[in-house]
Amino acid sequence: MIPVRCFSCGTVISGVWEEYRERIKSEPPGKVLDELGVERFCCRRMLLSHVEIVDTLRRYQ
Amino acid sequence: MKVELLELKENRVRFLLKGVSAAFANGIRRAALAEVPNLAIDEIALYDNTSVLFDEQLALRLGLVPITAEDPSVFSLPEECQCGGAGCPGCRLDFMVTVEGPGMVYSRDIKFTDPSVRPVVDTIPLVVLGEGEKVVIEGYATLGVARSHAKWNAGTLCGYKNLPKIEIGPECNGCGKCIAECARNILVLEAERIKVTDPLNCSLCKLCVRACETGAVKVEPVLDCFVLSIEGDGSVKARDMVWMATSEIRKRAEYLGNWLAEFA
């Protein structure tokens, strides 16, 4: 699951996660982040580097 | 002391503070970060959690969701409440989360009994539920300050810097080396002379000073003038946050004054 807030500055970044994940399928991630208002690089890396593994975990429930 | 407003948004305020010491500017910054009371989920009871996340992880995620009230001043800190911290509607805001899978549990599924209280952002994914999975959570939010736990952090990014003063001397030959060096792109060439477009954006890195061969560029911080930038997570308006931070400083200064007066 995407962390609720940015680790470094505490801004809530998870609110745009689902929109970000949909849009990067067809648009460059940098542009999407700009348009979603994620401006600092600490917050940008939260979304850019996140790997969703909950669905993989579920198989071993 | 003079205050000049530079930028005012719902979540962010930038202003110029003239004629104060660095300690005063830092006091406002620290108070905005750690002393502004706001709402966060404090205790929960999990009746059912068959999702992939552990109870503790779910509790952590719930705690970090910023919560806002239409009028936060009607609530009081548990230790200052008239109930003495035992728990009453004045200091505890009850909520329920009941979601059955498949699907995502969002922050908007946190239903408070008080209709004026709600999460700031509706679309925070809390946990994803598979077929037949279920979460049933009951709990309460309280007011708190970030000094005691980071979940009550109303001010997320607060900082200040000295007001930069950039001077271009008559020695300038318009070579443009400082323009190429400036990371913030605030220098432009205009009629063979360097012009500063936005001095407030300067980070005082002095790369332009080093690049200038004639020694025409001078960058100095104005020592008694500060650019304060206060940003919040949305639970408290940035404007109110500065106000609450300064009132907290005033309250403490008064307390110190009264305390010292006892010895006089």
Tokens 């408290």 sit on residue: B236
User: For B209-214, what is the mean pLDDT?
Assistant: 89
Evaluate whether residue A43 is within a structural domain: yes
Kindly state the DSSP code that residue B150 receives in the 8-state scheme. Answer: G
Burial code (b: 16+ CB inside 10 Å, e: under 16) for B110-140 equals bebeeeebbbbbeebbbbbbbeebebebebb
pLDDT, one tens digit per residue, over B157-188 is 899 999 999 998 888 888 888 888 888 888 88
Model confidence at B3, in pLDDT bands (50, 70, 90)? very high
As annotated, the residues of chain B forming the CATH 2.170.120.12 domain(s) are 38-152
B46 closest CA partner among B38, B29, B58: B58
Task: Given the cut 0.95, state whether the ipTM is greater than it.
Answer: no
CATH architecture of the domain with range B38-152: Beta Complex (2.170)
B102 touches chain A (CB under 8 A): no
Q: What is the pLDDT of residue B85?
A: 76
A6, A7, A14: which to substitute to probe chain B, counting the most B Cβ within 10 Å? A14
Q: What is the pLDDT of residue B1?
A: 87
CA distance B120 to chain A (A): 10
Q: A54, B52: Cβ pair inside 8 Å?
A: yes
CB–CB contacts below 8 A, A to B: 59
With 0-12 / 13-18 / 19 or more C-beta atoms within 10 angstroms meaning exposed / middle / buried, residue A3 is middle
Evaluate whether residue A50 is within a structural domain: yes
Q: Which domain holds residue A33?
A: 14-58
Q: B157, A9: Cβ pair inside 8 Å?
A: yes
3-class DSSP assignment, residue A21: helix
pLDDT, one tens digit per residue, over A1-52 is 899 999 998 899 999 999 999 999 999 999 999 999 998 999 999 999 999 9
Evaluate whether residue A2 is within a structural domain: no
B55 closest CA partner among B135, B151, B131: B135
With a CB-CB cutoff of 8 Å, which residues 11-40 of chain A face chain B? 11-12, 14-19, 40
CA distances to A32, B52, B151, B233 from A19, in Å? 9, 23, 25, 19
pLDDT at B57 over 80: yes
pLDDT at B64 over 80: yes
B123 closest CA partner among B143, B136, B106: B106
The class level of CATH for B2-34+156-229 reads: alpha beta
Evaluate whether residue A54 is within a structural domain: yes
Give the containing element (helix H, strand E) for B158.
strand B155-168
CA distances to B58, B202, B206, B207, B254 from B221, in Å? 47, 10, 11, 14, 32
Q: What is the pLDDT of residue B176?
A: 84
A1 touches chain B (CB under 8 A): yes
User: For B238-253, what is the mean pLDDT?
Assistant: 93
Please state the domain count of chain A: 1
| CATH (domain of A23) | 1.10.10.60
A57 touches chain B (CB under 8 A): yes
CB contacts of A2 in chain B (<8 Å) are 125
Query: Which of B121, B126, B127 faces A12 most closely, judged by CB atoms?
Result: B121
pTM listed for this prediction: 0.85
Q: What is the pLDDT of residue B83?
A: 86
User: For B108-137, what is the mean pLDDT?
Assistant: 93
Q: What is the pLDDT of residue B170?
A: 87
